Amino acid sequence: LLFGVWIVRQAFKMPMKDSWGGVQNVWFVSPALFPLLVGVVIIILGGLLSRTAWKTVGGQEIGKVISWLLSRSNLEFLGSTPTLRYYAIVTLFLSLVYLNVPRIDFFLASFLFLFVFITMFYFDDDRLLKRLFFFYLAGVGVLIFYFAAGIDALLHKSIPYAGDGLALFFILSYCFYAWVWVRNNPILRKKYRTAIIITLTTLIIVLPIFKYFLLVPMPTEGLVVTFLDKVWYLDF
């Protein structure tokens, strides 16, 4: 229900009518109509669902849920391995979309996402998942501080692709850290090599297809994409 309210609120920020080339558009062709419709339907369905839930379980059961949320059992659940997997997935996607892709060379951002995602879950080791996740989380924290503090803007004037350089260092550090924990296990070593091969092969095939054959520009073209441009166009 609250999500529907948010959609409606965002839809009202869109123009209901405007003038283009001297032609006045009427309200029923506004781009806001569809999200308004979706938002209103979600509000109605959310309200009906809330009414059904209240009639079915009542305030007493809702109170039990709230007391459980404040209990030690909930803290144990939040720290459990299945929940940690959820944290890892959410962190990976949020950092990719809101941190890496808008600011880091697309090849580097994609490599970091794919390799971390594969190693975290393909190794199928809960203790290793926790170590890799917290290492990645620390690296993301460094990147957030680096960009939020304006360091990249300052360094960019004298050091081209400084942010990409930091991202490349993060990638190499993560690769080394993961290798340290799997080097003594033949099965995990094989999975590590497989993760490297799959990540590189995917990017080497997909990125040139979109960039040079479909002519789709990358979201951020930095260190690696610029080098690929020079190779592709023989610009040396």
Residues 42-70: pLDDT tens digits? 999 999 998 898 888 877 887 888 888 88
- CA-CA distance, 217 to 207, in Å (whole number)? 10
- CA-CA distance, 42 to 51, in Å (whole number)? 14
Q: What are phi and psi of 119, to 5 degrees?
A: -65, -35
Residue 1 neighbours by CB distance under 10 Å: 13
Assign 108 a pLDDT band (cuts: 50, 70, 90): very high
Assign 138 a pLDDT band (cuts: 50, 70, 90): very high
Is 33 within 8 Å of 14 (Cβ atoms)? Answer: no
Task: Report how far apart, in Å, the C-alpha atoms of 164 and of each of 146, 193, 232 are.
Answer: 12, 24, 20
pLDDT, the chain, mean: 89
Rg (CA), the chain: 24
Helix, coil or strand: residue 23: strand
The DSSP 8-state label assigned to residue 123 in this structure reads S
Sign of CA dihedral 160, 140, 125, 89: negative
Q: Which range scores top for mean pLDDT: 13-17, 154-158, 163-167, 230-234? A: 163-167
Helix, coil or strand: residue 232: helix
Max CA separation in the chain (angstroms): 73
Answer yes or no: is pLDDT of 20 > 70.
no
pLDDT at 192: 96
Nearest CA to 202 among 137, 127, 125, 111? 111
Assign 123 a pLDDT band (cuts: 50, 70, 90): very high
| pTM to 2 decimal places | 0.73
Nearest CA to 168 among 87, 109, 102? 109
Q: What b/e sequence results for 64-86 when a residue is b if at least 16 CB atoms lie within 10 Å of its CB, and e otherwise? A: eeeeeeeeeeeeeeeeeeeebbe
Token code pair at residue 40: 């209103």
Sign of CA dihedral 160, 166, 169, 170: negative
Q: Going by C-beta distance under 8 Å and a sequence separation of 6 or more, which residues neighbour residue 23?
A: none
The label of the residue with tokens 């979706």 reads 38
Query: How many CA atoms are closer than 13 Å to the CA of 159, on its beta-carbon side?
Result: 10
pLDDT at 133: 94
H-helix or E-strand spanning residue 120? helix 106-122
